[in-house]
Structure 1
Amino acid sequence: MTLRTVLVAAVLAATLVLPVPAHAWGPLGHRLVAELAWDGMTPQARAEARRLLAGEAEPSLAGIANWADELRAHDPDLGRRSARWHYVNIAPEDGAGNGCRYDPARDCPRGDCVVAAIDAQLAILADHGRPRAARLQALKFVVHFVGDVHQPLHAGRADDRGGNTHQINVDGRGSNLHALWDSGLLAGAGLDEAGWLARLRQSPAPASADAHAAPGGPAAWAEASCRIVESPGFYPPKGSLDPAYAGRWQPVAERQLRLGGQHLAKVLNAALGG
């Protein structure tokens, strides 16, 4: 099976099963971010995470990494209330030098976006006086939302719903750019979860000098993701997808997964390791 054949199948599957707006990275990507974060956590933070996760069906960060995407099925009310917490639409360059600059009043009214959600849930998680159930829920949200904000299209444009309405075709089969980034680029490598973890762990960690390795918090991560979206060539022409697209952008997706794990470990160490 060729890389192109695998990519076709992955993009088609993502299009069929993911509602608009699609989930960042898909289940595999979120699990990978969580696993990479665990690698970078301190013993104290790991011990507190294990205490909070005790009793979960899969008591690990990877085991809860997709919980926030499954809320609509098992808690529809919370799913609706948290729907906007998965993304932020940062306006592209508007001629006034405001491209990819996060403005809370413009981009996150009432705190309903991924940047504010990460900050709010981290505050709950870090408060050891809160009930265990509240802190566990906050941990689930944080693990997922930090993954979300590193999927570039979750900090992209409002006018195409984060690439959901940017239609592409792979070997004549319709899909969209968001679905490609959620699952297609990862599935195109033909690796399972263990294979991906080995690959990512062996790759160099993003350096602080990397243009996309934002040293700050959620707002800086969102701005860095937005800059990827606004990079030349990120948006392929509508219609047939050039096979070279995956070769160019898959390394960027891999770097974003590494950064997601790196940043998640940082905030969890601060919130749990006290």
Structure 2
Amino acid sequence: MRIYSLLAIPLLLTTPAQAWGPVGHRITGAIADENLSGVARAHVHLLLGTQDLAEAATWPDDMKSDPAEYWQKKAGPWHYVTVRQGDSYQSKDAPPEGDAMSALDGFTATLRNPKSSIEDKRLALRFIVHIIGDLHQPFHAGGGDDRGGNDVKVTWFGRSTNLHSVWDSAMIEQRSLSYSEYAQWLSRTISPEQMIDWSDPAPSVWIAESIALRKTIYPADPAISWDYAYKHRSAMDDRLKRGGIRIAAYLNWLFEPRRGAVPTATPK
């Protein structure tokens, strides 16, 4: 897959922000695909057939153009959480229509339910892969005061945009790598120690990391370009790597053979 050159970035930035852009989501999906257990891989193949996790990762965003009420209204809040106070997620912050955490719990329950249809399980799997990627984008654990950076107006190499879009796509697209190249580059830098440390499937850990990072990436000067990209590139790469490892860790946990008591929907 070819991605846009730096000259094409201004066109990208006119589109609505939607968590990681398609390249970012495919990167996390590709990294996850390499780290599935044998059992998890069999379940994924059973539900998705020839589609891999890189392809599945963008599906909930792709479906935003579907005019059905499910996509236009119900599913919209499932891509982010709001953390209004402190540094950890509280379920009381979730709106009545739900958020990424409530959706993750719901879709996890669907996959665990032997009575769920194949179609419902397929939708649940695609959303789980996507939501976990979303929760690793720092502006998807927003403070509720600037719409996850969408209201923070900046110029990126002289072009008007917002800070959310810079993290969604612009810094990733600037690397001029296909998603598979980018994923391979990142995968080679994941150490065994990091693999072990990052394989905790608890969403509270991922969200706390995103909150901590979000607080450090607001620029003092809204005119950003090379200096900003250089300063934050390693943090962005880190979130993509962790996102991929956590997708795999969560699916490995979700699909592991269960003996005795059934675990709760969200790991503690």
| TM-score, L = length of structure 1 | 0.84
Task: Determine the C-alpha separation between the residues in 1 that align with 2:27 and 2:173.
Answer: 13
Candidates 190, 207, 213, aligned match of 1:222? 207
| Pair 1:68 & 2:60 matched | yes
- 1:14–1:182: 8 Å Cα contact kept in structure 2? no
| Separation of aligned partners in 2, 1:62 and 1:89 | 26
Partner residue of 1:42 out of 23, 37, 41: 37
Quick one: structure 1 residues 216 and 31, their matched pair in 2 at CA, closer, same or farther if it must change by over 3 Å? closer
Which secondary structure does the structure 2 equivalent of 1:168 belong to?
Answer: strand
CA distance in 2, matches of 1:134, 1:270: 19
Number of the residue aligned with 1:204 = 190
Measure, in 2, the Cα distance between the counterparts of 1:214 and 1:193.
22
Normalised to the residue count of structure 2, the TM-score between the two structures is: 0.86
**Consecutive unaligned residues in structure 2, runs of 5 or more:** 258-268
Match of 1:266 in 2: 249
Pick the aligned partner of 2:174 from 181, 188, 191.
188
Equivalent position to 2:11, from 2, 10, 13: 13
1:235 aligned residue: 218
Q: In structure 2, the residue corresponding to 1:41 is in which secondary structure?
A: coil
**Gap runs ≥5 in structure 1:** 92-97
Write the deviation string for residues 195-222 of structure 1: whole angstroms up to 9, x where unpaired: 2022111112473897xx5945123211
Q: In the superposition, relative to structure 1, how do residues 37 and 209 fare at CA in structure 2: closer, same or farther (>3 Å)?
A: closer
The aligned amino acid for 1:82 is A
State the distance in 2 between where 1:220 and 1:204 align.
Answer: 19
Contact 2:83–2:144 (CA<8 Å) still a contact in 1?
Answer: yes
Hey, what's the Cα distance between the residues in 1 that align with 2:180 and 2:196? 29
Q: 1:174: which partner in 2?
A: 160
Superposition deviation, residue 238 in structure 1: 4.6
Cα distance, 1:181 vs structure 2 = 0.2
Partner SS for 2:119: helix
Identity of paired residues, percent? 31
1:43-192 equivalences in 2 (<5 Å):
43-54=38-49, 59-74=51-66, 76-79=68-71, 80-91=73-84, 98-105=85-92, 107-110=93-96, 112-192=98-178
| Contact residue 88 and residue 115 of structure 1 kept, 8 A | yes
2:227 corresponds in structure 1 to 244
Q: CA deviation at 1:189?
A: 1.4
Shift of residue 8, structure 1, vs aligned partner: 6.4
Query: C-alpha displacement at 1:160, in angstroms?
Result: 0.9
Change (3 A) 1:132 1:225: same
- Structure 2: distance between partners of 1:196 and 1:87: 24
SS at match of 1:28: helix
CA distance in 2, matches of 1:171, 1:248: 15
Listed one character per residue, the Cα deviations across residues 11-38 of structure 1 (whole Å, up to 9, x for unaligned) are x233212x2xx11110011111111111
Q: Does structure 2 conserve the Cα–Cα contact (< 8 Å) formed by 1:147 and 1:260?
A: yes
Q: Closer, same or farther in 2 for the Cα pair 1:169/1:137, shift >3 Å?
A: same
**C-alpha distance in structure 1 between counterparts of 2:182 and 2:35, whole Å:** 17
Q: Distance in 2 between matches of 1:14 and 1:61?
A: 24
